[in-house]
Each structure stands twice: as structure tokens, then as C-alpha cells.
Amino acid sequence: MPLTAVTIPEQPVRRIAGLREQIDLHNKRYYQLDDPLISDAEYDELMRELIALEQRYPALLTPDSPSQRVGAEPLQAFEQVTHAVPMLSLENAFSDEEVRAFDKRVRERLGVDEVEYAAEPKMDGLAISLLYERGILVQAATRGDGRTGENVTHNARTIRAIPLKLAGRNYPERLEVRGEVFISKKGFAGLNRWARQQGEKEFVNPRNAAAGSLRQLDPSMTARRPLSFYSYGHGICPESALPETHNELLSRFESWGLPVCSEIEVVKSADGCIANYQRFLRQRLALPYEIDGVVYKVNRFDFQEKMGFVARAPRWAVARKFPAEIAMTEVVAIDVQVGRTGALTPVARLKPVFVGGATVTNATLHNADEVRRKDVRVGDTVIVQRAGDVIPEVLRAVLEKRPANTAEFAMPTHCPVCGSEVITIPGETTLRCSGGLYCPAQQKASIIHFASRKAMDIDGLGEKLISQFLDKKLINTVADLYDLTVEQLSKLERMGEKSAQNLIDALEHSKQTTLARFLYALGIREVGAVTANLLARHLGSLEAIAQADEERLQAIPDIGPTVAKHITVFFRQPHNIEVIQKLRAAGVRWDDVVVEAERVQPLKDVTFVITGTLETLTREEAKAQLEALGAKVTSAVSRKTRYLVAGSNPGSKLAKAAELGVEMIDEEKLLSMLAVQ
């Protein structure tokens, strides 16, 4: 019998559409305008009717229905999302002088006498990216490291301040909205009141509560949290859809149903920015949400384009941070922590004190010189400072309150964890454990670093597994990883035979690496991925690097005396050489490297810019290979740019390249260039 389409009566179609329109209106009045038109009971009745109709006519259920805000099935883990346009951080300013210096740099670069800025409160929440296609929310992602974030789409759909469908018309076919998820002061108080009633642990501050709520694997948990949202910028957006100014774009956002903070204003010059800052400083406590400063953005988009970027931040914006908050408490103990690189850090254990939006029980004393300079002792009353996410620190001891029997604190001469001798490197204030990879305090972090993506890239080897290996004494150093067996692994918690075999396969796969990756994986102090690549390109072999003296190392571009010292000290330690020999014996290997002096450099001094997502290479890999052939890879398109490499979902750099007449090439052309030996 042939299948026939089911005809849905017109009445429920109209009713569902009407209910959705009503509920969207009430969501906006309640969550964005704080001006509800109906009671909670009336709202709940509308929602119940909508859900009942959608259950009866499932063909009418759409992703943008307000009923979908209740949460989906719990997730096993978050997927990773690569931001087509990086979510950059901002430079900070802490004084009027620094704001004036920022304004001066902007004016000089633009060649104008006065600049207009959009001034907006810096919300203390979690940055999020919302992608709309044809007006429908299709993806939400956290900022992550700026290039890669977590897919939190299911959770974002539960936040009623975020429209599932854009209102009005004339919005772009594809639009990425950037904004902040936060919890209001009222919502935070209610959340903690609920936690107390349930006998659960209270949240420390609204920011942590918002971040934790958005990153719940169970979206229904997120749906129960009082999350809000304000939009403050854009990512992917056709240039034709952008107005002349940032402030005008925010007005368009409002017309499309996206909430925008009402406190945003446009100011002129450094004086306008400073006056705006003073206003927020006075009104901070009266605001219904927490802020930790004010953000100033050059208002005109053409000016922003001309200003460009530096490192991981735009030149056209700055965050003026509020002064750090301070409090007084007592030091109950001073412990010494040992970090991954062996650094000894004195930490004051404090009587709990609420400061800077959080309860503080520990504060750093930085290093031996700081402890001596501040003369902080156990039993002292101290002044503690905390600002935003900065680690709390002890500013000074209140000598008038010092008990008579206190003793001056002295740093240990031997590692408090492994007993190894504590050493100092000339020119450094930090004391270090000489135990290297054998010190238990350094083992875990060193192994985590060794297995990380930019290092040996051992898939499936995470912190929890490494902790089990160390707790059960299956390994002592990174070299022991390659002696593990399926039988040993399958006995561990949550590790069946298949998972065990997968990890053994990943370990085997990691043995074939590159010299640069291996150098980075060793965790030599201040030798990051870029420095490791320089060492490999200029010296060519591990033996040459290990035998190089400081003078030879400093002859390599961008390697100074401090880094050279760290490298020579590392390779002088017998235990480090022993671990390396064990790794080589286990089969860790890499192809020969052609040293820089012998390398063919057909692209010497040719400037490239890479935009969008590449299919066969990551942007970092493409950059490294281009630089190996002598090219320069920059982040901003300019008249000096020779080629723009355009992957999928390119950003605004495409238009800039076209405007300047820069030659654009695709990934296939790039690969053909890289194939030159």
C-alpha cells in the first residue's frame, strides 16, 4: 500500500504559531526588559498547551520553538568548535594615564584629532558565540582558548534571553553574535538560597555560577539556572550587513530580538572614556549585575579595520579594569608548592575571607625575594588583594598586629616533595627543585604536558588516567608510558580491554614524531612550540642541541640568554639524559631535519596571511611549513601581504585583501607551494 502524507488540521497549526509568538513576547518582557505582562502561572499554562500540541503533532515541532528550552538529553562530553573568526581577548588599562595612552595610540595610527568610542560595562560572566543561519540559532560555543571552544548549543537554547529565532527581517543569511552569559545579582541570591534549602554547596560568585551552569553536560540542569545574556559584538557577518559603527550594529541586534545592555553609551576622546569609567565606578553597586570594568571600542568599523590587531588582541579596544578589592585576614600557615618546572612558590594559607567576589583561603607570596621583602610570617594579620580572575596575593603584613612570638619565614634548602637539593639559576629570583622529571610534584604536570596535542599528541591520555598511573605506581617518568601493557591498563577504573588497546595504539602512533614536537614535549623551561621549532631548524639534531653552549644557542634568532641558560642546564642533568635515552630506546623517533643554513627557502621574505578553516592542515601547521620555506606569516592583511590563503568560512580579511589587490590562493595552491623542497 503506498504511503500517504498526513494532513494536519489548520487550527492547531495556527494555534501553535500563536502560542509561540505569545511566549516569545513574554520571554522578552520578562528576561530582557524585566517588565512581565502576565503571572508565572499564566506563562506556565501557555507553555503546557504548546508542549501538548507539539506532542500531538510532532511534525510541527521545530528547533526554534520556545518549548525546546527545557533541555535535551544529557551529553557524554562537549564537542570542540573551531571559531572561524577568533574570539580575541582585550588589552587591559588600570589608570587614567593608560587610557590616555591608548587614545593617543589610536589617534596617531588613524591620523585624526578625536575618536568616538562605544563604552560598555564589562560583564563578569562567560563569553559565548551564537551562530544564526537564516535567523535560526544553529550553534553556540564558548570562547575556549580563543580559537577553539566547546559546543554548548543544547544549553544555550535553554537560556530564555537568547532568541532561538531572530525577529524582524533584513538580518544576514549567516550571522555570528558574540556576547556574555551571566547571572544577575538577584538570580545569584536566589540560586544560593535554593542551594541552602537543598543542603548543597553554595556558589562562590555569579561568574563561576554562570560558567558552571553553561557547561553542564545535562542541559536540563542549565535550564534550571537563572542565566541571562547580553550581546556585544559580531564574528561571522557579511561586510554588506555591517553599518558604519559598532553602536549602530547593536541597535540592529535589538531590532532582531537580541538583548543589548542599556548602559552602553558613545563617548568622545580619553576624557569621555574616563568620565564614563567614573560613572560606572559610582553606579557599580547599584547595577543589577556584576561588572569588573568598562570596555572601550573604537566605534567606526572602518577605523577598527585600519587599526588591526596585535598578537591575540585588537588594537582598537581596551578594557579599563576596576581597582582590585582588598581585605584583611590572618596567616595560619605558609606552605611551599612545587610546580611542573620545579619552581618553588611560597603560599600563605589564610583564615577564609571574602574579597573580590570570592572566598579566599590561599594567597601567593610569589618567591623567596618577595617573602623576605614583605616579611610575612605565620600568625601575621595581612592585607590580601584580589582582582577578577587574578590569583589572590598578600600585599603586606600589618606589623601593628604582629604577635610577639612569630618567626621569620625561610625558604627550604631541599624540595619539600622529593627532598632534592634546591638550586637557583643566575638572574632568577625563583628557587627550583633539581629533581627534574623524578620529582613527584613535577611528574604529573610533566606527563600531562608530554602527552598534550602540541607535544607528543597521545590521544586518550588525560589527567585522570595519568593520576591513576602515578597512584598505582605504573609509571615514574614519561619514558615508562611506552612500557605499559593492555593487561595493566584494562585493570584500571573505566578502562576495558578495548579502551586499553586504543591507548596502547595511540602510544605506538606517537612514537613517530618530529624533533620540534619532541623538544617541546620535554618541558624545558621557556621552550615553547615556536622556540622548539627554531632549535630544530637551526641545529638539526637532538645531539647538536644538547651539546650547544649558550653562545651557540644565542646565535639563533629570538633565543636570548635566559632561554639559552635553561636549555644548557636541562641537558646537563644526568636524569634528563637518562629519560631521553629510555624514550629513544622505546622507539620514539623523527625524520632528519635539514638545518636552516642548508634549507631551500623559495619563499624567503614572502608575506602570507591565512584565514578560514583549512581541510588538510591546521593553521598552525600551515604557518610552520611556510616559515620553514622562509615565508613570513602575519595575522593582519596589509599592503605588504603577497598572498592571502583562504580556507572555508573566511572572515573579513577576504574583503580587505580584495581591496588592497592581494593575491588570494586556495588550499590546493598552498599545498603546491609547500611541496617545493
Query: Quick check: 79 and 152 in contact, CB under 8 A?
Result: no
Query: Quick check: 337 and 442 in contact, CB under 8 A?
Result: no
Q: Provide the domain limits for residue 440.
A: 436-510
Residues 6+ apart with CB under 8 A from 149: 80, 81, 83, 87, 129, 141, 142, 143
Query: Quick check: 628 and 663 in contact, CB under 8 A?
Result: no
Q: Check whether 235 has a pLDDT greater than 80.
A: yes
**Is residue 26 domain-shared with residue 116, that is, in the same domain?**
no
Question: Strand 632-634 and strand 607-611: pairing?
Answer: parallel
Query: Quick check: 57 and 12 in contact, CB under 8 A?
Result: yes
pLDDT in tens, 239-287: 888 999 999 999 999 999 999 999 999 999 999 999 999 999 888 878 9
**Is residue 555 domain-shared with residue 650, that is, in the same domain?**
no
The CA-CA-CA angle for residues 389, 394, 395, to 5°, reads 105
490 within a domain of the structure (yes/no): yes
412 within a domain of the structure (yes/no): no
Q: Residue 5: pLDDT band by 50, 70, 90 thresholds? A: very low
Q: Check whether 186 has a pLDDT greater than 60.
A: yes
Supply the CATH number for residue 367's domain. 2.40.50.140
- Cell 537580541 found at: 258
**Is residue 185 domain-shared with residue 242, that is, in the same domain?**
yes
Query: Please, which residues bridge with residue 151 across strands?
Result: 141
69 within a domain of the structure (yes/no): no
Supply the CATH number for residue 655's domain. 3.40.50.10190
Tell me how far apart the alpha carbons of residues 19 and 27 are, in angstroms, rounded to a whole number: 12
**Is residue 96 domain-shared with residue 237, that is, in the same domain?**
yes
620 within a domain of the structure (yes/no): yes
Give the amino acid at 531: T
**Is residue 248 domain-shared with residue 274, that is, in the same domain?**
yes
Q: Check whether 600 has a pLDDT greater than 70.
A: no
Q: Locate all alpha helices (DSSP H) within 511-618, ordered by sequence.
A: 515-521, 529-539, 542-547, 550-554, 561-572, 574-585
Exposure string over 275-309, b if 16+ CB within 10 A, otherwise e: ebbeebeeeeeeeebbbbbbbbbbbbbebbbbbbe
Please report the pLDDT score of residue 428 as a whole number.
67
Please report the pLDDT score of residue 76 as a whole number.
54
Residues 6+ apart with CB under 8 A from 40: none
Give the amino acid at 630: G
Q: Check whether 4 has a pLDDT greater than 50.
A: no
Identify each DSSP E strand in 554-653 by its residue range. Answer: 589-590, 607-611, 632-634, 643-646
**Is residue 278 domain-shared with residue 297, that is, in the same domain?**
yes
Query: Quick check: 324 and 342 in contact, CB under 8 A?
Result: no
Tell me how far apart the alpha carbons of residues 454 and 448 are, in angstroms, rounded to a whole number: 11
Please report the pLDDT score of residue 38 as a whole number.
74
294 within a domain of the structure (yes/no): yes
Who has greater pLDDT, 45 or 633? 633
Residue ending a domain, choose from 461, 480, 510: 510
The counts of H helices and E strands in the chain are: 24, 26
Q: Best-predicted range by mean pLDDT among 171-185, 305-319, 606-620, 645-659?
A: 171-185
Question: Strand 317-321 and strand 91-93: pairing?
Answer: parallel
Supply the CATH number for residue 37's domain. 1.10.287.610
**Is residue 627 domain-shared with residue 583, that is, in the same domain?**
no
430 within a domain of the structure (yes/no): no
Supply the CATH number for residue 478's domain. 1.10.150.20
Name which of 537, 562, 564, 540 is nearest 552 in CA terms.
564
**Is residue 506 domain-shared with residue 562, that is, in the same domain?**
no
**Is residue 122 domain-shared with residue 209, that is, in the same domain?**
yes
Domain count, the chain: 6
pLDDT in tens, 24-43: 888 777 655 556 677 666 77
113 within a domain of the structure (yes/no): yes
Q: Flag the least confident range among 146-150, 343-347, 385-389.
A: 385-389
Average model confidence (pLDDT) for the chain? 85
Query: Quick check: 280 and 607 in contact, CB under 8 A?
Result: no
408 within a domain of the structure (yes/no): no
Tell me how far apart the alpha carbons of residues 94 and 98 are, in angstroms, rounded to a whole number: 7
Q: Check if 511 is active-site.
A: no
**Is residue 194 domain-shared with residue 257, that is, in the same domain?**
yes
Query: Quick check: 589 and 519 in contact, CB under 8 A?
Result: no
**Is residue 54 domain-shared with residue 194, that is, in the same domain?**
no
Q: Locate all alpha helices (DSSP H) within 360-457, ordered by sequence.
A: 368-374, 440-451
Tell me how far apart the alpha carbons of residues 44 and 39 are, in angstroms, rounded to a whole number: 9
Q: Residue 73: pLDDT band by 50, 70, 90 thresholds? A: very low
Who has greater pLDDT, 530 or 612? 612
pLDDT in tens, 80-107: 888 888 888 888 888 899 999 999 999 9
Q: Enter the pTM of the model.
A: 0.51
Name which of 107, 123, 610 is nearest 315 in CA terms.
107
Query: Please, which residues bridge with residue 421 across strands?
Result: 414
Query: Please, which residues bridge with residue 645 across strands?
Result: 610, 665
Tell me how far apart the alpha carbons of residues 234 and 242 are, in angstroms, rounded to a whole number: 10
Supply the CATH number for residue 167's domain. 3.30.470.30
pLDDT in tens, 134-148: 999 999 999 887 888
Q: What is the signed CA dihedral for 110, 115, 121, 127, rounded to 10 degrees?
A: -20
Residue ending a domain, choose from 533, 562, 596: 596
The single residue of 28, 122, 306, 401 carrying the catalytic annotation is 122
Please report the pLDDT score of residue 174 as a whole number.
93
Q: Flag the least confident range among 14-18, 116-120, 232-236.
A: 14-18
**Is residue 627 domain-shared with residue 528, that is, in the same domain?**
no
Tell me the percentage of the chain whose pLDDT exceeds 70: 92
Query: Quick check: 142 and 127 in contact, CB under 8 A?
Result: yes
